[in-house]
Amino acid sequence: MQFTKAFYRKYLLPLGLVIILFIAIIILVVSAGQSPGTWKIYALVSALAFIALLLFLLARQTYRDEAVRQITAQRMEEAGEKYKSLLETSVVGTMMIIDRKIAYANFIFLSMSGYTLKELLKIKFEDLIHGDPDSGLKIDNLYKELGNIGRTLNFEAVISGKKGDLRDVVLAASKLSLEGKNGIIFIVKDMTGRDRLEQESIHLINELQSSIRLMNLPVASFIREHLHCDMDTTVHRAATIMEKKEQNAIIIYKDPDTPVGIVTDTDLRNRVVARQLRYDSPVAEIMSSPLIRIDEKSLLYEAILRITNKSITHLAVEDKIGRITGIISNKDLLEVQRNSLSYLIREVNAADTVESLKKIHNKIPVLVNILMEGGSLGIRNITYMISTVTDAITRRLIEFAIDEMGEPPASFAFMALGSEGRREQTLVTDQDNAIIFEDVPNEKMAEVNRYFLYFGKKINLWLDRIGYQYCKGEVMAGNPQWCQPLLRWEKYFSDWVNLRSKEGIMGVAIFFDFRIVYGLEQYGEDLRKHIHREVTGKDQFFSLLAKETAAYKIPTNLFRNNPPEVQMPESFNIKNAISPMVDFIRVYSIQNGVNESDSLLRLEKLFRLNVISELDYHEIENMFCRMMKVKFRSQVRQILANQAPDNIVSQEELTALEQSMVRKTFSEIKQFQEKIMNDFCS
């Protein structure tokens, strides 16, 4: 055993001094020439022996105490090393606090923070990690709250990195005791990228799990028996019927087979009581007309969106022959709405900052993943949901801009273009938008143009911050070219149709798929009428569109087992599989005056107009949905892997069945390319 310097100073040195002192006394006595008696010598020797014994016993006990202390210190040191080993082998970030100071952190945590261990030891915990003000994430609070070893507390927090960056994390804090000192071990999990998505997925699944099932039930599952009366029924009589049946709406009929309107509790309050209308007035004077209906086979979420978009409180539900079978109200849907798409829309409408809108936007990939995994919704419904959230976010941003800039100096409309205009957004999306404003006198034009141009730039900036990237071709409302009065927009479309514009086909591919998101709907109707007038009889225009549609190069041997000397690509851009179908549908829709912008709605209208056969209708619809499904799955997979989503699909992502389906789809696309060439270029 080895003694420490402290042991020598504390025990051996005093012992040695005592022994030397007694030896000195004996020497002095002897050297003084005294002749003590025998008994004095014995007494002196006995005293020295007793003292020596005491010193021996003291030294032995001290030796044993020091041995125990050294063994204990060695074990505590070993325990400390074991803690360090534990921290270093952890697959997540870990950090150790001893006596309220940072004592150690593993490599993963150091990577999160950007500090070296030497730098980290100089930082206060509260300067490194921040939590919600009410979370209790302070060292003193943690020591108090953790209490005994074995308890764990969890927190959501933010790490302030060395370079000023912030990283969202989840902490798990547990108490430890090391070398007689109290400490805390933190397990730190990074919540950026995949971890963030997984965490949000857990929360969103909890919110949507029960409602998704309900949202995909037919409206017929939720309707109530409806009350009805004729147009001549008095207000008093109608109110009495409603009160007796404890219902808040009654449908008004012109004759037994012709419903023409509805009266609700709101109508009675606003149009009778508030205006002091005579109670014997006919209900026809206060009814809301026309009657807004929905098919009983429609899904519940469609009813919710219809009620929201129309700003009404009740929907009449009809069967396949147009007969009213019941009523559904916003109050009936309230419980379902709480955790549904409408709940997200209400979150958007209640948001008061761009950052809060960004958090809602971040839920879209999670929602798509849930719906894709559940398989309960078709592709059309998923893209419609994405576009609905995007529309709501855009409208909220427009409201923000108006609050900041003041009321617009002229009427206007904000247009969504391209895939958003078609309600076909996926998880890879950039901005395609524009502004139409009123044709004002020349002396007012500069002021109006300046307002809307700055207005558009502000919306584009906010959309980019939320996650809708700037358009690489600058087709955005903040570009002066695409922020123009109605007459200029009509000229744009005339030039595109008559092939007088350098934008040419780009204008057709993007701008002809427009939809009004905010503002005066009349501008959209005026543009569609103008387009229809312009395209009539323009064979050269349609011939050019047909050639562009047929120009897409379709791979013929993709994913086949080719011989080694024939190298085929192992990935493809799925946009090149979907775009020919979109273009095909657009060309026939423009030619036949179909005003819908949604590709599948256009396709359905073309079928009903007998422009395409039923066989072609179903074949194109199936192709489109199959490829959109592959696109969504690929993009969701990329996001979950913390990668930027794109349109490239690799062979390894697809099952053998899916690879066969992709090859079949490309083969079918070639057939429709041949068809459009025969119809417009022969």
pLDDT digits (tens, 9 = 90+) for 329-363: 887 776 554 445 666 787 788 888 998 899 888 87
- Give me the pLDDT at residue 216, please: 64
Most confident of 180-184, 469-473, 654-658: 469-473
- Identify whether residues 598 and 522 lie together within a single domain: no
Decide the pairing of beta strands 166-178 and 152-160: antiparallel
Helix axes 38-89, 13-31, angle to 10 degrees: 170
- Give me the pLDDT at residue 23, please: 60
- Identify whether residues 71 and 119 lie together within a single domain: no
For residue 269, give the CATH number of its domain: 3.10.580.10
- Give me the pLDDT at residue 65, please: 57
> Looking up tokens 């060695």, which residue turns up?
74
153 or 229: which leads in pLDDT: 229
- Identify whether residues 520 and 559 lie together within a single domain: no
SS3 157: strand
Strand order in the sheet with 101-105: 101-105, 93-98, 181-190, 166-178, 152-160, 129-131
CA distance 456 to 349: 20
Residue 554, in any domain of the structure:
yes
pLDDT-wise least confident of 31-35, 251-255, 308-312, 354-358: 31-35
- Give me the pLDDT at residue 28, please: 53
- Closest to 511 in 3D by CA, of 478, 541, 476, 546: 476
- Identify whether residues 296 and 186 lie together within a single domain: no
SS3 106: coil
For residue 502, give the CATH number of its domain: 3.30.460.10
Please say if the pLDDT value at position 432 is more than 90: yes
209 or 456: which leads in pLDDT: 456
36 or 368: which leads in pLDDT: 368
Most confident of 156-160, 269-273, 440-444: 440-444
Tell me the mean pLDDT in the region 667-672: 89
Please say if the pLDDT value at position 667 is more than 70: yes
228 DSSP 8-state letter = E
> Looking up tokens 């993943």, which residue turns up?
369
CA distance 166 to 156: 13
SS3 255: strand
Per residue, what are the HEC states of 335-348? Answer: HHHCCCHHHHHHHH
Beta carbons within 8 Å of 31's beta carbon, 6+ residues apart: none
What are the start-end ranges of the H helices in 216-255?
235-245
- Identify whether residues 440 and 302 lie together within a single domain: no
Please say if the pLDDT value at position 261 is more than 80: yes
CA distance 240 to 247: 10
> Looking up tokens 């020919």, which residue turns up?
580
- Give me the pLDDT at residue 408, please: 96
Report yes or no: 155 and 173 within 8 Å, Cβ to Cβ: yes
Query: How confident is residue 293, by pLDDT bands cut at 50, 70 and 90?
Result: very high
pLDDT-wise least confident of 58-62, 129-133, 423-427, 526-530: 58-62
CA torsion sign for 507, 508, 513, 518 is positive
- Give me the pLDDT at residue 568, please: 47
- Identify whether residues 517 and 646 lie together within a single domain: no
CA distance 325 to 317: 6
SS3 56: helix
CA distance 375 to 434: 35
Residue 38 CB neighbour total at 10 angstroms: 7
Residue 200, in any domain of the structure:
no
Please say if the pLDDT value at position 184 is more than 50: yes
Q: Domain end: 486, 508, 535, which one?
A: 535
pLDDT-wise least confident of 20-29, 240-249, 365-374: 20-29
325 or 131: which leads in pLDDT: 325
> Looking up tokens 């307002």, which residue turns up?
451
Report yes or no: 583 and 505 within 8 Å, Cβ to Cβ: no
Q: What is the overall mean pLDDT for the chain?
A: 80
Per residue, what are the HEC states of 168-220? Answer: EEEEEEEEEEECCEEEEEEEEEECCHHHHHHHHHHHHHHHHHHHHHHHCCEHH
- Identify whether residues 43 and 123 lie together within a single domain: no
Please say if the pLDDT value at position 22 is more than 90: no
- Compute the radius of gyration of the chain from its Cα atoms: 40
Phi/psi of residue 430, nearest 5 degrees: -120, 180
- Give me the pLDDT at residue 12, please: 55
- Identify whether residues 421 and 462 lie together within a single domain: yes
Residue 644, in any domain of the structure:
yes
82 or 662: which leads in pLDDT: 662
Phi/psi of residue 580, nearest 5 degrees: -60, -35
- Give me the pLDDT at residue 183, please: 82
Residue 178, in any domain of the structure:
yes
Residue 57, in any domain of the structure:
yes
CA distance 562 to 581: 28
- Give me the pLDDT at residue 96, please: 83
Please say if the pLDDT value at position 287 is more than 60: yes
Most confident of 88-92, 621-625, 654-658: 621-625
Residue 343, in any domain of the structure:
no
DSSP string, 496-507: HHTT-SSSTHHH
- Give me the pLDDT at residue 82, please: 47
Report yes or no: 29 and 40 within 8 Å, Cβ to Cβ: no
Give CA torsion, residues 599, 600, 603, 608, to 10 deg: -140
Q: Domain end: 81, 115, 144, which one?
A: 81
| Residue 130 tokens, joined | 């921040």
DSSP string, 266-311: HHIIIIIITTT--TTSBGGGT-B-SPPEEETTSBHHHHHHHHHHHT
Residue 56 CB neighbour total at 10 angstroms: 11
- Give me the pLDDT at residue 151, please: 65
Beta carbons within 8 Å of 143's beta carbon, 6+ residues apart: 100, 175, 182, 184
Residue 540, in any domain of the structure:
no
Please say if the pLDDT value at position 256 is more than 60: yes
Helix axes 442-466, 354-361, angle to 10 degrees: 50
- Give me the pLDDT at residue 52, please: 64
Range of the domain at 414: 378-535
Most confident of 452-456, 564-568, 623-627, 650-654: 452-456
Q: Domain end: 282, 305, 337, which one?
A: 337
Please say if the pLDDT value at position 223 is more than 80: no
Residue 525, in any domain of the structure:
yes
For residue 112, give the CATH number of its domain: 3.30.450.20
- Identify whether residues 228 and 266 lie together within a single domain: yes
Cα distances from 530 to residues 99, 469, 481, 489, 491, in angstroms, run 77, 31, 19, 10, 10
CA distance 36 to 128: 79
Query: How confident is residue 650, by pLDDT bands cut at 50, 70 and 90?
Result: confident
Tell me the mean pLDDT in the region 174-180: 71
For residue 637, give the CATH number of its domain: 1.20.120
Query: How confident is residue 210, by pLDDT bands cut at 50, 70 and 90?
Result: very low
CA distance 567 to 560: 10
Query: How confident is residue 75, by pLDDT bands cut at 50, 70 and 90?
Result: very low
> Looking up tokens 């009929």, which residue turns up?
253
Cα distances from 451 to residues 409, 458, 462, 492, in angstroms, run 8, 11, 17, 22
Tell me the mean pLDDT in the region 643-666: 83
Query: How confident is residue 67, by pLDDT bands cut at 50, 70 and 90?
Result: low
- Give me the pLDDT at residue 3, please: 47
Tell me the mean pLDDT in the region 72-76: 45
Query: How confident is residue 564, by pLDDT bands cut at 50, 70 and 90?
Result: very low
Tally of CA atoms within 13 A in the half-sphere of 305 that contains its CB: 18
Cα distances from 511 to residues 91, 277, 541, 595, in angstroms, run 51, 49, 15, 13
Beta carbons within 8 Å of 199's beta carbon, 6+ residues apart: 170, 191
Report yes or no: 128 and 160 within 8 Å, Cβ to Cβ: yes
Instruction: Work out how many domains the chain is built from and give that number.
Output: 5
| Residue 217 tokens, joined | 């039930």
Residue 455 CB-density burial (10 A; 0-12 exposed, 13-18 middle, 19+ buried)? buried
- Give me the pLDDT at residue 482, please: 95
CA distance 102 to 104: 6
pLDDT above 70 as % of the chain: 74
Give tens-digit pLDDT for 493-530: 999 998 887 666 777 778 899 999 999 999 999 999 99
Q: Which amino acid is at 408?
A: P
- Give me the pLDDT at residue 378, please: 66
CA distance 605 to 618: 13
The reply to whether omega before 485 is within 30° of 0 (cis) is no
- Identify whether residues 106 and 37 lie together within a single domain: no
- Identify whether residues 156 and 68 lie together within a single domain: no
- Identify whether residues 115 and 224 lie together within a single domain: no
